[in-house]
Amino acid sequence: MPHGDAALTPRARLRVAEGKTDARDALVIADQARSRRDSRPMRPTDEATIELKVLTGRRSDLVRDRTRAINR
């Protein structure tokens, strides 16, 4: 079994070599969304979409509370 960078795919090795950026992450996500055939569009009224909005809203609240506590 390969160890370290040898276990990574060529795309993953390139990402390690170049470093992580939000722009690169966005390109990878967009590429996956375009090329994957097993995904479906999210609808605003889908239960999963509503739950995701609730969870991300709660996470934002927690991050804001944490930041406020750190800055006291």
How many separate domains does the chain show? 2
Residues 51 and 69 in one domain: yes
Residues 4 and 28 in one domain: yes
* pTM across the whole model: 0.51
**Read out DSSP for the chain?**
---GGGGS-HHHHHHHHH---HHHHHHHHHHHHHH-SS-----TTSHHHHHHHHHHHHHHHHHHHHHHHHT-
pLDDT-derived band of residue 71, with 50, 70 and 90 as boundaries? Answer: very high
Q: Does 5 score more than 80 pLDDT?
A: no
Q: Which domain range does residue 47 map to?
A: 43-72
Q: What is the pLDDT of residues 43-68, one digit of tens each?
A: 999 999 999 999 999 999 999 999 99
